Each structure stands twice: as structure tokens, then as C-alpha cells.
A and B are shown apart, each in its own frame.
Chain A
Amino acid sequence: MNLKRIGLRTGALAAAVAMAGTAQASDVMINGFASFYYGNVMDQAEIPDGDSHRGYSEPGSFQYDSQFGLQFTSQIGDGLSAIAQMTAEGRDGYKSHLSWAFMKYELSDSWTVKMGRQRVPFFLFSDFQKVGYAYSWVSPPNEVYNLGGLENTDGVMFEHHTDLGSVTSRLNLLFGSSSQTTNFGSFDIDIDNENQIGMFWDLTYDALTFHLTYTTSDLTISSYSDVGNGINATLTGINPALALSEDELDLMTIDEDKVTYLGAGLSGDWGTWLAAAEYASIRIDNSPVSGDRSSWYVFTGYRWDAYTFGLTYAAYSSPNNDDTIDVLESKNIEPTLQMAAAGAAANGDSFAAYGISQLSAAIPGVYRSGEESSSYTLSVRYDFHPSAALKFEYIQEDVTLMPDDGTGDQEFSPALARIGVDLVF
């Protein structure tokens, strides 16, 4: 009787000790990062869409690059850890969301697996793109790094880590998918990226890092499909003979189209001098945009005392898909829609007239948004505090819009200045 009680007590105590041990072993480490930036476009008239350029306009504002992030890391023990990252961005009204949440497990000395929501390491700086403190720009070159909402994915990533003499190799294999709604001003766009397979390879030798990326996935972007299907429905309504063929409709929509990303980068940090160069190519098969989108940049930096001076040249090319332009022109789509809208208005059907004119208005932005650009960026980083850096950046850009509609190219030269602080804590 007594013994049993003692036994029970001991058992409870052992359990309590075991639990205390677990709690201690899984201390949660909290790290944070934040950026607060003011940006101002020098001349509103030079903004290509007349509205905003890289998130800014004239007069300037504090929102676009300002953000706050907290990361929770729990090393549970025996190679298992759990990581979550909450971020709130000024561009998103400081709505907080869980940008990452994954578990990591060391399968062996050389293999690690990560499961959950995580960042896709497309480019050299992708992994820590949001942590401004970790590099010398205000943000990595937009030409390469702006992926329009495909930065994170839900899935499983296997990492193989090995030392080949003095070269460290890190190979990541990703299987994932992502589904999200991105707000573009007044409307939401659903972006679904499925069957994502990625290979990312990093080789580090001394001060040099080489990065290679190859991914494929099936992409659906609702806005393109909405406009493409809307146009087809309107044409069919006017005259069934005008209906688009399956191939033509495919060229007017992004509906489970195969996307291929290719990227290569090289960076070096020799203490006083640092440099980086990257190239990225994105191909979306049978889609209205980015038939062949490519971008690249070269960067060089020089450290002097607590200052880092940087100069970056970047270029971006995203031509229209000629096949899509052919569909628009051979089917005489734009004039047909305009006539249909006018006809509906004349018949007093203001609802149809409005719908069709909205489709008409969407065409330039969706199918004729070909663009080429290049930019020079001068950046200065000043480490004024062990945990914080003050940065100033001036970007002079040349943008050419290529609507391919007979009206000719349009050229703009927007300039943007940004100043602010990055910190980690």
C-alpha cells in the first residue's frame, strides 16, 4: 500500500523532472529584425505607370520598405528544431503574418530535412532578403529579386552538406507548392504554384560563394485567366465563330502553365572589397507574359571604417509574347471589344458595356506590358551601432515600355532615393 504510493509519487516526480528537462532543452530563442525607410521618387512625371515606382511616389512615404520581423527558434534536441517567423510589412498595412513555420531535422551528419512553410533560396540573398542588416543595399536588386509573391513555399526541402577539401557544398532539393492571394492596389490576385521541384546548389570556397538554381512548377494566376476567359466569353457571345481556339486561349491565360526558373550567382567578400553578380531567367510556357524574362546585376562594394560604399548595375528584360500579340491582332480583339462595348451602351445595357470596357482597359496591362529596364544604384551603409545600420541609396533607372500596339515605345527615367535604418536584435 505504502510502497505503491511511493512508487506512484516517484513516477510523478520522474515525469515532472523529465518535463522540466524538456522545457529546459527546448528554450525558445527569439531574434528580431526591423527596417524603417523613407523613400521619395524625384520626379512623378518619370514614373512609368504614373502611380508609383518601386513602391514610392512623390511626395515620399515611409511604408514600402519598413517592416518588423520576429523569429522563434526552438532547438528541441537530438537534431530536431522548430522555427517560426512572423513579419509585418509597411507595404501591407503592417498586417502580421506567419511567413515561415517549419521543423528541421538532422537525418545524418550530411543530410537535413526541413518541412513546412519556408523561403525558396532562388538567389544568393533570397534566404535573408527581408533582413536588411545582413547586406549593404536597402534591398537586393529589384530586377532579379522581385518574384511577385513566389518567395515562400510550403513543402519539404532536403539539404545535403559536404566538405570537398576546402570547398563546402550545400545542395538543396525542394518539393512544394504555394497558394496565396496578393493584393495589387484595388484588386486581389490568386497565385497558385503547384508541383514545384527545385534544385539549389551552393559552393563556398574561402571568400567566394557560387549559387545555382533550377526550379519548375505549374503556375496559375487568376487575373490572367479572368481576363482571357472574359475576352473569350465576350467574343463567343458576339459570334460563336469568333471563339478562341484552345491554343489561343492558352496564350491568353496563365492556367497551370509550366514555369522554369534558372539562376546563377557568384559573390565574394574579401573584407575591404566585396562583389556579387547574378543572372536569372524565368520562362512561363504558353503565357501572355514573360515568354522569356531575364535579369541580371553586378555589384561591387568597398568598406572604409564603419562605411560600406556600393555601386550596382542591374538590367531587366520582359518582352511581350509575340504569339499572344498575334492572337490579339489576328482576331482583331481590341477593336471588337470596343465596338461591343459601344454597341451594348447604345442598347442601354450599361452592365454589359461596363464589363466589356473593363476587359478592354485590362488588355494593355495584361498582354502588352513588355518592358526593358536598367538601373544604377549608389548605396552607402554606415554601421553606427553594433546592431544597427543607417543606409542611403539612390537608384537612377531607365525604363522602356513596349506595348507593341503601333504607338511606339515609351521611355521613362525615374530616380528614387531611400534613407533609413536596419536593425537586428
Chain B
Amino acid sequence: MNWMKKAVITTSWVALSIIATVSGMASAETAVIVNPANSAELTADDVAKLYLGKTNKFPDSSTATAYDQKEGSALRQQFLDAVVGKSESQMKSHWSRLIFTGKGVPPKALDSDAAVVAEVASNPEAIGFVDSGAVTGDVRVAFTF
């Protein structure tokens, strides 16, 4: 009896974690977010330019501050690949060209989705990318992918 109970519990844990994984995959969409006060229409190309340091302005000429996520996260790799068109090491190589010539400072990396959402919610110039599941009503989603 006891072993049976144990098996049932284990099985349900497995089932639960499979469900969690599947739903995790389903919502593994990434959102590029800006402050609600920012009404700029953004394309992936505009966002790529901001993260590559090619401009520090939104298309409407207002100042932009891009926020990055921690190196090595799947979210960041996906964002760089889909929006910026670079791998993490290519991104690093690109930025080392700018940093070591005094041409620019790379986007600051924040610790978590929540930290990015909080920054973007409070800073009208900010732009960031987070898992869609982390988006709150305090930020505006520019686009998802």
C-alpha cells in the first residue's frame, strides 16, 4: 500500500512537472517592453540598433536607455538571435569594439525579468525584453516574438 501511494505521488509529480514544462514552453514568448508613456512604434530593426549601440534614440528622437539581461540565459540568447541577429559571443565582440574605443557603453544587464519590468515601468526612456509571462500592466509591450 505504502509503496503504491509513493508511486502515485511520484507519478503525479512527474506529470505535474511535465505539465509545467509544457506550459512553460507555450508561454516562452519574449516581449520587448517600453514605458507606457512611450508611444513609439518599434520594429525589430529599431530595437537591434539600440542594443548594438548604433543609436541611443527611439524613432521619434526621444532618448532611449536599453536594458539587457544576464549573460548565458536562454531568454537573452533567443533575443539576440531573433532581434539583434548575433550570438552572445558576437555581441560581446561587437561591444568590445565600442567599449575599448570609448565609443559606447553596453546596455546594463539587470538581474531578472522583474527587475527589467520595474525599471521600464519607472523610467520613460527605458526599453527591455522579458518573458511574456512577466509582463505587468505597468509597461507597454512593443512587440513579442
Partners in one complex: yes
**Interface residues, chain A, with chain B CB atoms under 8 Å away:** 29, 31, 33, 69, 71, 73, 75, 81, 83, 85, 100, 102, 104, 114, 118-119, 127-128, 130-131, 133-135, 168, 271, 306, 383, 386-387, 389, 424
Contact, CB under 8 Å: A306 / B102: no
Q: Mark B70-96, 1 if CB is under 8 A from A, else 0.
A: 011000000000000110111011001
Q: Specify which chain B residues have a CB less than 8 angstroms from the CB of A387 in the assembled complex.
A: 92
**How distant is the Cα of A283 from the Cα of B56 in the complex, in angstroms?**
40
Q: A381 to B97: give the CA distance in the assembly, Å.
A: 17
Residues of chain A lying within 8 A (CB to CB) of residue B88:
386
* Most-contacted residue by chain A among B72, B92, B100, B102 (CB, 10 A): B100
Please, could you name 21 A-B residue pairs with CB atoms under 8 Å apart, sorted by A? A31-B99, A33-B96, A69-B100, A71-B100, A73-B99, A81-B102, A83-B102, A104-B102, A118-B102, A119-B101, A127-B101, A130-B100, A131-B96, A131-B100, A271-B85, A271-B86, A383-B89, A386-B72, A386-B89, A386-B92, A389-B89
* Contact in complex: A134, B93 (CB < 8 Å): yes
Q: How far is the CB of A170 from chain B (nearest CB, A)?
A: 9
CA distance in complex: A92, B42 (Å)? 50
Q: Is B6 interfacial (CB-CB < 8 Å)? A: no
- Please pick, from A85, A102, A134, A386, the residue contacting B97 in the complex, using a CB distance under 8 A: A134
Are A134's CB and B89's CB within 8 A?
no
Q: A271-B85, A387-B92 are in contact. Are A128 and B105 (CB under 8 A)?
A: no
Known pairs A75-B105, A119-B101; A386 contacts B71 (CB<8 A):
yes
Q: Is the CB of A31 within 8 A of B89?
A: no
Q: Contact check, A85 vs B92: say whether CB atoms are below 8 A apart.
A: no
B54 interface hit (Cβ, 8 Å): yes
Residues of A within 8 A of B86 (CB): 271
Q: Known contacts A75-B105, A130-B100; can you find 4 more A-B pairs with CB under 8 A?
A: A69-B100, A100-B102, A128-B96, A387-B92
**Cβ-closest chain A residue relative to B72:** A386
**What residues of chain B lie closer than 8 Å to A130, measured between beta carbons?**
100
CB distance from B54 to the nearest CB of A (A): 7
Per a CB cutoff under 8 Å, which of A119, A133, A168, A306 touches B92? A133
Contact between B85 and A134, CB atoms less than 8 A apart: no
The tally of residues in B whose CB lies under 8 Å from a CB in A reads 18
CB <8 Å contact, A31 and B85: no
Query: In whole angstroms, what is the CA distance A133 to B103 when docked?
Result: 17
Q: CB within 8 A of A102: which of B54, B92, B102?
A: B102
Cβ A114 vs Cβ B102 within 8 A: yes
Residues of A within 8 A of B93 (CB): 133-135
Separation in Å of the A65 CB from the closest CB of chain B?
Answer: 17
**What is the CA–CA distance of A73 and B89 in the complex, to the nearest angstrom?**
22
A134 and B105 in contact, given A306-B89, A387-B92 (Cβ under 8 angstroms) = no
Known: A73-B105, A83-B102. A127 touches B97 (CB 8 A): yes
CA distance A192 to B96 in the complex (A): 31
Q: Which of chain B's residues has its CB closest to A119's CB?
A: B101
Residues of A within 8 A of B72 (CB): 386
- Give the CA-CA distance A69 to B101 in the complex, in Å: 12
Q: Which residue of A lies closest to B57 (CB)?
A: A109
Would B54 and A168 count as touching, CB distance under 8 A? yes
**CB closest residue in chain B, given A204:** B54
A271 to B88, CA, bound (A): 12
Q: In whole angstroms, what is the CA distance A31 to B89 when docked?
A: 16
- Whether the pair B99, A71 counts as a contact (CB closer than 8 A) is yes
B104 to chain A, nearest CB (A): 9
* Nearest CB of chain A from residue B74's CB, rounded to whole Å: 14
Considering the chains assembled together, what is the distance between the CA atoms of A386 and B80 in angstroms?
14
Q: Which are the 5 A-B pairs with shortest beta-carbon distances?
A: A127-B101, A383-B89, A83-B102, A134-B96, A134-B97
Closest chain B residue to A166 by CB distance?
B45
Residues of A near B92 (CB, < 8 A) are 133, 386-387, 424
Whether the pair B100, A128 counts as a contact (CB closer than 8 A) is yes
Inter-chain contact A128/B71, CB cutoff 8 Å: no
Q: Which residues of B contact A85 (CB under 8 A)?
A: 100
In the bound assembly, the distance between CA atoms of A100 and B102 in angstroms comes to 10
- Complex interface: chain A residues within 8 A of B105 (CB): 29, 73, 75
Contact of B102 among A73, A383, A386, A389 (CB under 8 A): A73
Q: How far is the CB of A318 from chain B (nearest CB, A)?
A: 29
Q: Please indicate the chain A residues that have their CB under 8 angstroms from the CB of B97 in the complex.
A: 127-128, 131, 134
CA distance A85 to B99 in the complex (A): 11
B89 proximity list for chain A (CB < 8 A): 306, 383, 386, 389
- Closest beta carbon of chain B to A127's beta carbon, Å: 4
Shortest Cβ gap from A303 to chain B (Å): 8
The minimal Cβ–Cβ distance linking A11 to chain B, given in whole angstroms, is: 31
Residues of B within 8 A of A128 (CB): 96-97, 100-101
A424 proximity list for chain B (CB < 8 A): 92, 96
Q: Nearest chain A CB to B103's CB is how many angstroms away? A: 8
Measured CA separation A202–B85 after assembly (Å): 22
Within 8 A of A (CB), among B98-133: 99-103, 105
Across the interface, which residues of B come within 8 angstroms of A69, CB to CB?
100
